[in-house]
Structure 1
Amino acid sequence: MRKFIIAAAVVLAPVSPLMTHGNHDEEEQDRPVQQVAKDNVIKLITKGTLPASWSKAKFVETKSRTVQGARQDVVIFRNDAEPEARKLLYVALKPDGTFVSANHKLK
């Protein structure tokens, strides 16, 4: 019985890595940072944090910055339906696409 268990373990051990796949987070990283930021804007609209007019905001540009030693991508959107002081929205994301913040002034 002991030999059978050892033999089964030896035969089945290589199968385990074959049944798995790595890089589960690649899907998020493969999406353009602009699209990830737009998805976060839609989430903020759904929560009621931003007015619905932001769903039609236009992409302006993407910048990189460093905050406390950590790199962030800042995606800028423009919404002409908003007052001048609130026309721009800066969406900050970590390099892996994790949402950091969204503000009308770059902080």
Structure 2
Amino acid sequence: MSSAASPRFWAGPIRYCRWASREKPAYFWSVVLGALGPIQLAVVPPVRNFIGDYNAPPIPVTYPGESRENENTAKADEASLHQREHERQQKNTNDATVPAGPRKQLTGYDDE
């Protein structure tokens, strides 16, 4: 410990920082690194853009399906919307969603 009394921050901030860096380095550097966080929020994004590092495009949240016409346009009238919906329902009912025949027994698993 130093023989002199610990300096007060508001009386001389530079002198206090010098004292704290010697006598209490863990606290001093914790405060320094903590103060750099908000500064980095303002500095890092422009620097990244300057060097050409951009954010990745967003990950799609929907599965890419068959391309469809935009049904919500003002040009589409009610009758054509109803007709397309009817055709889509007919198409879905004609597809077999459950395979015919008995269920196959899985092999290759040692669960028994």
Shorter-chain TM-score range? under 0.3
Higher strand residue share: 1
If the length of structure 2 is used for normalisation, what is the TM-score? 0.25
Which of structures 1 and 2 has the larger relative contact order (alpha carbons within 8 angstroms, sep 6+)? Answer: 1
If the length of structure 1 is used for normalisation, what is the TM-score? 0.25
